[in-house]
Every structure is written in structure tokens, then in C-alpha cells.
């Protein structure tokens, strides 16, 4: 095995790293309230930070970095998937705004694979410029892990489809412009063979939303209702009734691009620094053997998350689909996200439960947030159980029952 970057990759790494150091405030890492492998996303406490965020994203777009691994004719830089992985790693390590994301990590790459030239011409430039954003319209009240059971129905009316049904756990739907949605288009076919993918405009008449407050007290989720919502037929993405299979590919991208592998290293470093500089019951925290062992274990598993992350990029560059491998990455990283919170809580003792930043609160109250936030990690984008099914059935060839 050879884990070195090529000269070109290394120079991109250095250029990006320098850019991040230069363009983000020195204490930026302390601004976003992000737990490793965060799904919910309520990242800023201070509204001023949101201005910094917007200005920074503009600079990224100007450099063409939002879409670096896309082909040049679509506004990308034509970089390799390892370079995309370097980008995701560095951006997430610096907790930089717009690292990864649904538009650049899922919808864009999927449109480049299965969209028609007209669809690509229509959507790709607006995604690349950061002009439009998406939410994922997958789960429904009766279709969670069993995604093939979606009941929202799109009736084919020739030049348009008419949608009726409901989505739930729709993260960020209220902040986004469009949905990347799976719906049923054939009720007679077997369930996985009657679904299709659509791009649906939030502003479509007949679409309404109800906020759902999450475990952290934040508005991240929504329930979204479709009542006779008309969607033009050119918004059908990929082949009609093949949506479930397209979606399986999209889920691979999701499991890779949303991992935010650098956030793990960032928090580990913060926790190590805290332990190095803190006393507990009159003795240095770093001298407690169990604390040393726990941190060593976390650090080792962060390194493994990196390996499994690089592997997906390396496979994509070799033209292979990292399907089972993205599940392995997802299950490993999300369980680490949970264990990291639990371990940090154990190390911090009573101080770990503090929920607001104060002089008594270590690590910006990140740990209490992570303790709750990481509950979502092993559930969203396919539960750990679903990932293990994928690994066992598609990876090891065990029978589907």
C-alpha cells in the first residue's frame, strides 16, 4: 500500500490549506457548533458569523472549488476523486462553510451520471455557482429503512406529473430551494420497480411544510405535504420507475460526502488539548490512565475513519463503485461519532452536561450537544443496521431473506 499523495494532489492540499488559513478567521474553528458527522446542522450561534460564511462561500465559488471533481465543461475543475476527498477532508477539518453538502456531493454528481444533456445544462451551472440548494425527499411516515415502500404518488399527465403524499424528517427543507425526491410512479409494479426520482421546486403550489423541532431544540426537520403539486416532466431524473436503483447510488455519495472526516480529527485535537491543560481533583487529567487509554482508542479509530474515507476516493478513481465500502465507512464513522461524545462526556465528568458556553463549560458546550446530536448519526442516511445488511448481503454475498 502507498498512502502518499501525488505531487499534484499534494500541491492542491497545500494550496487549499493555505487558502483556508488565509480566508477564515484564526478562531473560526470555535464558531460553528458542529459535532463530527453532524446531520442536523444549526451551525452558528452568532448571526455575524453567517456573514463571514456567505463571503467565504462566494470565494470558494469564484475559485471553482465548490465543484472541483466535476468535469470542466460543467463548471468544475476536473479533479480526481482523491482530490475531492482532500477537499472534503481539509474543509471539514477547518469546519469551513459549504464543506460537502447535498448539492455538490449528491445531486450534482448524480445529474452528471444520469441526467439528460438538457437537464445538465439547466441545473448544473446553478448548482456549481451555489445559486440553488436542495433537500432530500426520501423518508416518509411509512417508508424509513424500507425506502422502497414510498407512498407519495406521481400521476403521469403527459407533459407533467401530479404529486400527492408526504415526506418527513426533511432536513433543511425550509432553507433549500428544491427537493431531490423519490416518489412512486407505478403502483402495479413490485415496490422497488415502481419508483422514480424528481427535482421538485419548493415553490410549487400544493406544497406545504410543517417545522419539526429536533432533539437539540433546533428546527432542522420538516414534514412536507404535497397536494396536487404539478411537476414538469422534464424534472423526472433518470429512467422512470428506476428511481430506487438510482437512489442506491445517490446514497453511496451521501455516505461519503456527508461524513466530514476532518471534523473527527478537529474534535480529537481539541479534546486532547483540553486533557493536556486541565486538572481534576487536584491532579492533571492527562495522568489518569483510563483517560490516556480512551484518547488513544479514539485517535486510532479516527485514523481508521480516514483510511476508509480515502479508500472510497481511491476506488472511484479506479472506476469502481464504493457501494459496500461507503456503508463500511458510514457505520464505522457514525458509531465513532457516538462513542466520541460518550467518551468525552466521561472524561469531562459533570462539566460535560453543561449546555451553554460559560467560563465553567469546557469545549464550548460542544460535548453536551454532541451527546444528543450523534444519536442521529447512526440513524440518518441508512441506519447502522441497514449498513450492516448492505455489507453482509452485497459485500459478503450472504442471502437476502
By annotation, the residues acting in catalysis are: 254
Cα atoms in the Cβ-side hemisphere of radius 13 Å centred on 180: 30
Which residue number, 60 or 391, has a Cβ lying nearer to other proteins?
A: 391
* Size of the chain in residues: 401
Find the shortest distance in angstroms from Cβ 290 to other proteins: 11
The residues binding other proteins (CB under 8 A) are 1-6, 9, 82, 272, 275-276, 286, 291-293, 295-297, 299-301, 303-304, 307-308, 310-311, 313-314, 328, 331-332, 385, 387-389, 391-393, 395-401
Which residue number, 80 or 120, has a Cβ lying nearer to other proteins?
A: 80
CA gap 226, 167 in Å, rounded: 8
Which residues, 6 or more positions from 195, have their beta carbon under 8 angstroms from its beta carbon? Answer: 148, 150, 182, 183, 184, 185, 241, 243, 244, 247
Query: Which is it for strands 178-184 and 134-137: parallel, antiparallel or unpaired?
Result: parallel
Find the shortest distance in angstroms from Cβ 390 to other proteins: 8
| Per-residue cell: 315 | 476506488
Which residue number, 108 or 382, has a Cβ lying nearer to other proteins?
A: 382
Find the shortest distance in angstroms from Cβ 384 to other proteins: 9
Find the shortest distance in angstroms from Cβ 230 to other proteins: 42
Find the shortest distance in angstroms from Cβ 113 to other proteins: 23
Residue recorded with cell 456527508:
258
CA gap 114, 228 in Å, rounded: 27
DSSP letters of 246-305? HHHHHHHHHHHHT--HHHHHHHHHHHHHHHHH-EETTEEGGG-HHHHHHHHHHHHHHHHH
Amino acid at each position: 500500500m502507498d498512502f502518499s499523495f501525488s505531487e499534484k494532489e499534494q500541491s492542491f492540499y497545500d494550496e487549499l490549506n493555505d487558502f483556508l488559513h488565509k480566508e477564515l478567521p484564526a478562531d473560526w474553528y470555535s464558531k460553528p457548533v458542529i459535532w463530527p458527522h453532524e446531520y442536523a446542522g444549526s451551525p452558528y450561534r452568532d448571526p455575524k458569523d453567517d456573514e463571514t460564511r456567505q463571503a467565504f462561500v462566494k470565494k470558494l465559488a469564484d475559485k471553482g472549488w465548490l465543484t472541483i471533481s466535476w468535469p470542466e465543461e460543467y463548471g468544475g475543475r476536473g479533479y480526481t476523486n482523491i482530490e475531492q476527498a482532500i477537499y472534503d477532508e481539509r474543509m471539514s477539518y477547518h469546519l469551513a462553510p459549504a464543506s460537502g453538502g447535498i448539492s455538490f456531493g449528491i445531486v450534482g454528481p448524480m445529474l452528471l451520471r444520469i441526467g439528460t444533456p438538457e437537464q445538465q445544462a439547466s441545473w448544473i451551472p446553478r448548482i456549481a455557482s451555489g445559486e440553488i440548494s436542495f433537500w432530500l425527499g426520501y423518508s416518509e411516515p411509512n417508508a424509513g429503512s424500507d425506502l422502497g415502500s414510498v407512498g407519495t404518488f406521481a400521476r403521469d399527465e403527459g407533459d407533467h406529473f401530479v404529486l400527492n403524499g408526504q415526506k418527513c424528517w426533511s432536513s433543511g427543507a425550509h432553507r433549500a430551494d428544491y427537493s431531490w425526491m423519490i416518489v412512486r410512479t407505478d403502483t402495479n409494479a413490485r415496490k422497488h420497480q415502481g419508483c422514480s426520482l424528481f427535482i421538485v421546486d419548493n415553490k410549487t403550489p400544493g406544497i406545504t411544510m410543517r417545522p419539526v423541532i429536533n432533539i437539540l431544540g433546533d428546527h432542522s426537520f420538516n414534514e412536507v405535504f404535497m397536494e396536487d403539486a404539478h411537476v414538469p416532466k422534464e424534472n423526472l431524473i433518470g429512467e422512470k420507475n428506476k428511481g430506487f436503483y438510482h437512489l442506491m447510488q445517490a446514497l453511496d455519495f451521501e455516505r461519503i460526502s456527508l461524513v466530514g472526516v476532518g471534523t473527527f480529527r478537529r474534535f480529537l485535537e481539541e479534546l486532547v488539548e483540553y486533557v493536556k491543560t486541565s486538572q481534576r481533583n487536584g491532579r492533571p487529567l492527562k495522568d489518569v490512565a483510563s483517560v490516556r487509554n480512551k484518547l488513544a482508542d479514539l485517535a486510532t479509530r479516527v485514523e481508521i475513519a480516514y483510511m476508509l474515507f480515502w479508500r472510497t476516493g481511491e476506488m472511484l478513481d479506479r472506476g469502481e463503485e464504493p457501494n459496500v465500502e461507503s456503508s463500511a465507512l458510514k457505520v464505522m464513522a457514525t458509531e465513532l461519532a457516538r462513542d466520541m461524545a460518550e467518551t468525552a462526556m466521561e472524561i469531562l465528568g459533570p462539566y460535560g452536561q453543561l449546555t451553554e458556553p460559560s467560563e465553567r463549560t469546557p469545549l464550548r458546550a460542544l460535548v453536551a450537544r454532541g451527546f444528543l446530536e450523534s444519536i442521529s448519526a447512526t440513524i440518518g442516511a441508512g441506519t447502522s443496521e441497514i449498513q450492516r445488511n448492505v455489507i453482509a448481503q452485497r459485500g459478503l454475498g450472504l442471502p437476502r431473506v
